Each structure stands twice: as C-alpha cells, then as structure tokens.
A and B are shown apart, each in its own frame.
Chain A
Amino acid sequence: MNIQEVKDDLLKAIPNLQIEIEGNSFIIPKEKLLSIARFFKESPKYSMDYLSCITAADYLAKGFFESVNHLYSMQKKQGPIVLKVRVPRENPRMPSLVSLYRGAEFQEREAYDLFGIIYEGHPDLRRILLWDEFEGHPMRKDYVTEDQDS
C-alpha cells in the first residue's frame, strides 16, 4: 500500500482532516482517532479488522506522549497502517479504541499503567502489571527509580 494513496482515501472519506505522514505512519489529531480507525475498519478496501499492537512512547524533550497503533487486516492479509496520536505530557488524555477493538483492552491498560496515559471511554482502566498502590509511571523518561546509581 502506498501511504500517499491511503492518505488521499482518508481525506476523501473524512473532510477537513489535518494529518501528516512521518515515515510510514500517520500523525493524527486525537479527536479524530475513532473516526479514522472506524474508516479503516469498515471500508471494504482496507477492512483493517485486526488491531495488532498498541503502545506509547515518551518524548520528554518534545513534551508529548505518542500513542502508536498498528492496524492489520486479517481478511485481506494486508497492512500495517500505523496511527500515531500525540498528547501533551501535562494532560495525557485520548480516546480509547476498546469500543472498536476489544483487543485494545489489556494493551491500553498496560500503557496507562506504565505511561499514565488516560484512555477516555475505556471500560476498566486499572493498573495491570504493577500493583494498585504503586505511585508513578515507570516507563516515563523522567521517572526516577529508588536505587538508581547514576
């Protein structure tokens, strides 16, 4: 799939969209995440029915978290389409994909646990790997561990 073509299709389907291409992925505004994901899932040309991987990355120097979503199609055996959403570090809130893809449930909980990104609309947003009383989010780049030697 040519990424420029994919972008054109996307712009045709959802007007007034501000998206950028970076490498082989799309940087999209968080308000549009659900409608863009729905387009890729439901359009017969793409039918991206499989959400493979959700994760996040902390870009401390640039002041944002990036949520990275890899979509594939099991039906058409194609992909990936990579959707990246950037949210400010001070207020990391973004919509949850669980309503579209059940597979997001545990992976979003993990990103919440380790990065502290709040997925709005998630049915059960709790810590998953760390215990409930744990303070802080250890995958953030400014997290200081207790026994750090440097």
Chain B
Amino acid sequence: MLRLEQVSKVYRKRGEEIAALQTTNLEIADGDFVAIIGPSGSGKTTLLSTLGGMLAPTTGKMWIDDQSVYDLPVADRARLRQEKIGFVFQTFNLVPYLTARENVSIPMYLAGMTPAAQRERATELLESVGLAERMEHKPSELSTGQQQRVALARTLANNPDLILADEPTGNLDPASRQMVLSYFEKFNQTGKTIVMVTHDIAAARTAKRMLNLSEGVLEGIPHEPVLKSA
C-alpha cells in the first residue's frame, strides 16, 4: 500500500518559491491502477518523483507498506526502488550504449543477480514483449515503440509491486500507445499496482481510478474503467 500523509512540495530556487504540490493526502491500495491527469506544470512529475522515493517532500510523510520512505537513508531508498518499484518514462531512458538485453539486465545486475541468471530472465522478458529478434540491438537501432517495449521489460525485471509511469504514451504512435496500455492492463491483472501520469485522457480512462492534478491540488474524478483488452 502506498500512502501520502499531508505531503506538500515547494521548490526553492534563487529565493523564489514554487509550490508544486499543495498539501495532499492519498492512499493507493495494492493492485490499484491509478491515472493522474492534469495540465503541464501542474505537478504531476513532482508527485510521481515523491511516490518513487526520489524527491523528499517539503512537509508530510510518504509510506510504502508501513515504511516511512523519507525517514530511510538515501542508500536504503535506492534499494527500495530496486526491489519494489519499476519506472516507465516518456523518453524510455534506455542506456544508449547497451543492447536491449543489457538494458533489461540493469535492475537485475543492481540487485546482485549472476550474469547467467540476468541473461536468462532478460531473454524471457524480451520474448514476452515480442522482441525475441531484437535482443542484441542498441536503442538507436529500434523504433520508439520497440524502445518502450524494452523499457517495459526492464521495468518488470525485478518483479516490482509498484509501477510508476510518467507519460508512458507521450512519445508513441497510436498503435504503440495502444500496446503499452494493454501491457499495463496485463501487469495490473497480475496484481501490480500502477500509477500513471498522463495528459492523455483517453489513456487515463483505461485505469481503475482517475485523479486530477491542477496547480498542485489533487482531487478524484468519478470514473468507470474502460477495459481495452476485453
């Protein structure tokens, strides 16, 4: 379970203060699929960074399964991300000098898995996203849709409970966008909690729950999920 308690975030830059996130309370149950929509600059990435244990809030606490994340030392937070959280980025963020298989191996390598085991699981994961033929290709040799699929495989590498996605469909063509959304649905069906931030209202509708973020204020939107894969 994921819980924000009186969390707010104020950026301070050269004496200027930007309140990116107003005081927020939020609970996300295990297995939930939450979409957060909102205009540019509304604080979506700020909220997601905080949920990911990468951005300490100005006030309040963030809990993951009874663990107050920002009371942990930095190194423990890194370990927490490596064990429990998977990220999906708008720009895929594949390491440019590594092949698809090596990119998928990174989280497993960081978790201390042996090279042979990394290789085996990376191969499996890439096959499961339909990239069996592209294992040894570098990101520059892949289409954007394929790159995002590699990134999805990497997200699943350490079998995280929570997936945080920032505009995962923002840079994709309609077909690839559709594919990513159906993967999310599939991941959610296997019990993973997903928080997806997006501009794309249609994409957000595939989630179980929708939240709107506007100028740092978060509020729920009444919504019935549309099942794409059904």
A, B bound: no
